[in-house]
Amino acid sequence: MVESRDGDASPNDVSDSASDLTRMTDADPQSLAAYYDKWAGSYDADLPKMGYDAPMRAAAIMQDQGVAPDAPILDAGCGTGLTGLELSKAGYRDITGIDISLESLQAAEAKGVYRHLKKRDMNKPLAFGDNGFGALQCIGTLTYVREVRKLFAEFCRVVKRGGIISFTQRADLYDGAFAKAIQATVRVGLWEQVSHSDPMPYLPNHQDFGDQKRVFYDVYRVK
Ligand SMILES: C[S@@+](CC[C@H](N)C(=O)[O-])C[C@H]1O[C@@H](n2cnc3c(N)ncnc32)[C@H](O)[C@@H]1O
């Protein structure tokens, strides 16, 4: 259920999948694929009602960091393609999307903004060659990855030296293992920090998120 705020989304406006979102935080990859498959048909209608603006912010980060319009960008956890759509509006034309949910990938394909779309579980090696991407973004997805340190190493492998890696993570899940994985990746010399935002609104009109669950926007540069 989503509470109404100042005339925003009323409880009946969003699908049951949207209401169930926080229940999925610790779900296994198979359950997540099934959940996002089921949500794929209504995800694009639900997210704006919940005040979701991360795709726009992420695209602005790519521009602010000077990522060239023709740079190959990996949208890791692309979902239904809202993130790719904003990259495309910002002028990016070589976007590859990966996600574990086939139905979401099909919705992403229908947007016509991705050069390649592949079904991938990001708990496994990424199955791309080294240094093939100029930049990478991972928006709203790291919550679900078990071995995030291994994934960060994979991100640094597939993005070329000097390339930008931009991701979000929920503020309530950031400290502890997640922050340690970031620091370990710094320590082994794979990336360096570019920026770490204040805690930002994520789904301001969702009853479980609102002001309680904000997100950080982090940017790292591959060394
Ligand atoms: C909240 S959605 C975000 C989608 C998109 N980035 C956006 O901002 O709209 C989270 C996405 O993570 C994907 N996902 C969850 N676990 C995954 C995994 N292990 N590997 C790849 N994708 C995964 C889900 O299928 C879902 O599309």
Q: pLDDT tens digit string along 68-104?
A: 999 999 999 999 999 999 999 999 999 999 999 999 9
Query: Rounded CA gap, 6 and 159, in Å?
Result: 42
**Span 26-74, pLDDT tens digits:** 899 999 999 999 999 999 999 999 999 999 999 999 999 999 999 999 9
Query: Rounded CA gap, 69 and 12, in Å?
Result: 40
Q: Give buried/exposed letters for 146-166 (b at 16+ CB in 10 A, else e).
A: eebbebbbbbbbbbeeebbbb
Q: Tell which one of 17, 118, 141, 167 to mutate to probe ligand 1, the residue whose CB is within 8 A of the most ligand atoms.
A: 141
- The ligand 1 site (C-beta within 6 Å) comprises 29, 32, 36, 54-55, 77-79, 82-83, 99-101, 104, 120-123, 139-141, 144-145
State the average pLDDT over residues 108-136.
98
What CATH number labels 54-222? 3.40.50.150
How close is the Cα of 43 to the center of ligand 1, in Å?
12
How close is the Cα of 80 to the center of ligand 1, in Å?
9
